[in-house]
Amino acid sequence: MTDFINPNVKEGWTGPGRRDGTILPMKPEDDALHIDVGAKNQFEWWYFDAHLEGGYTLVAFFYAAYPNPGLDQGKIAVELTLLRPDGRKTQKIIKYKKPDFYASREKPDVKIGENYMKVEFQDDGLPVYEIFLEDE
């Protein structure tokens, strides 16, 4: 049996897999900020990827709190990774101070320095995300 997934539904999982949870349409607040920024052992980020012409892949993260262990854990940051067709990877993580961070708790609207992501909800389709990242 093949799963049918309606392409007009933004999905969220309530369990660890398709068989273990219920698929529900996401509400704007589902992709908003949930953690207390700066609190210990709380992590949250927004992830985007794009497969570009010519075989390049671009990956972007907006971190309310960077999750990886080490000196940067818990820091506010943006990350941009470029994967080239030949396998080479360029990765840049830029840390920011708490005053440089804004995120809504009602909808996906995040600003870190001059970098931002926001969403426009469509009445008749999927939400449209706009992201902007600027290298130092």
Report pLDDT for 19. 58
Mean pLDDT over the full length of the chain: 83
pLDDT digits (tens, 9 = 90+) for 46-61: 999 999 999 999 999 9
pLDDT tops 60 at residue 123: yes
Q: Which strand (E) or helix (H) includes residue 50?
A: strand 44-51
Half-sphere exposure of 112 (CA within 13 A, CB side): 29
Calculate mean pLDDT across residues 70-97: 90
DSSP-derived secondary structure for 76-89? EEEEEEEE-TTS-E
12 or 30, which is more confident: 30
* HEC string for 25-45: ECCHHHHCCCCCCCCCCCCEE
Give the containing element (helix H, strand E) for 64: strand 57-65
Domain definitions of the chain by residue range: 11-132
Q: Find the radius of gyration of the CA atoms of the chain.
A: 17
- Sequence length of the chain is 136
Question: pLDDT digit string (tens) for 70-81?
Answer: 767 888 999 999
Pairing of the two strands 101-103 and 76-83: unpaired
The DSSP element (H or E) to which 128 belongs, if any, is strand 128-132
Whether the predicted pLDDT of 129 surpasses 70:
yes
Q: What is the pTM of this model?
A: 0.78
- The residue-averaged pLDDT of 21-33 equals 77
- The sign of the torsion formed by the CA atoms of 73, 77, 78, 81 equals negative
Residue 96 pLDDT more than 60?
Answer: yes
